[in-house]
Amino acid sequence: MTSRLIPSAPTRRTVVKAAAATAVAAPVLVGTASPALADTEAPSFLHGVASGDPLPDGVLLWTRVTPTPDAVPGSRRGADVAVAWEIAEDRAFTRTVARGTTTATAASDHTVKVDVRGLRPATTHWFRFTAGATASPVGRTRTTPATDATTPGVRFGVVSCANWESGYFSAYRHLAARADLDAVLHLGDYVYEYASGGYPAAEYTVRPHEPRHEIVSLADYRLRHGTYKTDPDLQALHAAHPVIAIWDDHEIANDAWSGGAENHTPGTEGEWAARVAAAKQAYFEWMPVRASTEGTVYRRLRFGKLADLHLLDLRSFRSQQAGIGKGAVDDPERTLTGRAQLDWLKSGLAGSDATWKLVGTSVMISPVAFGALPAHLLAPLAELLGLPKEGLAVNVDQWDGYTDDRRELLEHLTARSVRNTVFLTGDIHMAWANDVPVKAATYPLSRSAATEFVVTSVSSDNLDDILRVAPGTVSVVAAGAVKAANRHVKWVDMDHHGYGVLDVTAERSQMDYYTVSDKARADATTAWARSYRTLEGTQRVERVYQPVH
pLDDT given at position 40: 55
In angstroms, the CA 394 to CA 409 distance is: 19
364 or 484, higher pLDDT: 364
The SS3 of residue 129 is strand
- What's the number of CA atoms in the CB half-sphere (13 Å) around residue 126? 21
- Please confirm whether the linkage preceding 547 is cis (ω < 30° from 0): no
Contact 382, 482 (CB under 8 A): no
Average confidence (pLDDT) over 249-265: 97
Q: How far is CA 322 from CA 313, 395, 495, in A?
A: 19, 10, 28
Is the whole model's pTM more than 0.85, yes or no?
yes
Specify the pLDDT at position 3. Answer: 58
Spatial separation of the C-alpha atoms in residues 355 and 49, rounded to whole Å: 33
Taking each helix axis as running N to C, give the angle between helix 272-286 and helix 218-228, from 0 to 180 degrees, rounded to the nearest 10.
Answer: 30
Q: How far apart are the C-alpha atoms of 466 and 250, rounded to whole Å?
A: 19
Which letter does DSSP use for residue 440 in this model? G
The phi, psi pair for 540, rounded to 5°, reads -135, 150
- The pLDDT value recorded for residue 2 is 54
- For the sheet with 431-437, list strands across it: 299-303, 307-311, 356-361, 421-425, 448-454, 431-437, 489-493
Taking 90 as the threshold, does the pLDDT of residue 41 lie above it? Answer: no
User: What letter would DSSP give residue 125?
Assistant: E
pLDDT above 70 covers a percentage of the chain that reads 88
**Core vs surface per residue 176-211: b (16+ CB within 10 A) or e:** bebbebbbbbbbbbbbbbbebebbbeeebbbeebbb
How do residues 430-450 score in pLDDT, each as one tens digit? 999 999 999 888 899 889 999
Among 20-34, 171-185, 313-327, 452-466, which stretch is predicted with the lowest mean pLDDT? 20-34
User: pLDDT over 90 for what percent of the chain?
Assistant: 78
Enumerate the CATH 3.60.21.70 domain ranges in the chain, comma separated. Answer: 154-544
Mean pLDDT value across residues 357-373: 86
Please, are residues 408 and 454 in contact by the beta-carbon 8 Å criterion? no
User: Quick one: DSSP state of residue 166?
Assistant: G
* Mutual angle of helices 375-385 and 475-485, in 10-degree steps: 70
Q: What is the mean pLDDT of residues 4-22?
A: 36
Q: What is the pLDDT of residue 326?
A: 64
pLDDT in tens, 21-35: 333 333 333 333 333
Average pLDDT, the chain: 90
- Of 411, 415, 413, 399, the C-alpha closest to 363 is 399
Q: What is the CA radius of gyration of the chain?
A: 22
Query: Do residues 58 and 118 lie in contact, with contact meaning Cβ atoms separated by under 8 Å?
Result: yes
**What DSSP string runs through 297-356?**
--EEEEETTTEEEEE---SSSPPPPPPTT-GGGG-TT--SS-HHHHHHHHHHHHH--SSE
Phi-psi region of 196 (alpha: psi -120 to 50; beta: other; left: phi over 0): beta
Can you tell me the distance from the alpha carbon of 35 to that of 43, in angstroms, rounded to the nearest whole number?
A: 12
pLDDT computed for residue 294 by the predictor: 83
Distances (CA, A) of 153 to 53, 303, 377, 502, 509: 18, 9, 41, 10, 10
Q: pLDDT for 278-307, tens place per residue?
A: 999 999 999 999 987 788 999 999 999 999
pLDDT of residue 220: 98
**CA nearest to 125, candidates 139, 112, 145:** 139
- Which CATH superfamily, name and number, covers 2-142? Purple acid phosphatase-like, N-terminal (2.60.40.380)
Q: At what angle do helices 232-240 and 15-29 cross, to 10 degrees?
A: 150
Fold category of 154-544 in CATH: Purple Acid Phosphatase; chain A, domain 2 (3.60.21)
Distance set, CA 535 to CA 139, 354, 438, 453, 541 (Å): 35, 15, 19, 14, 8
Evaluate if residue 42 carries a pLDDT over 80. yes
Residues composing the chain: 549
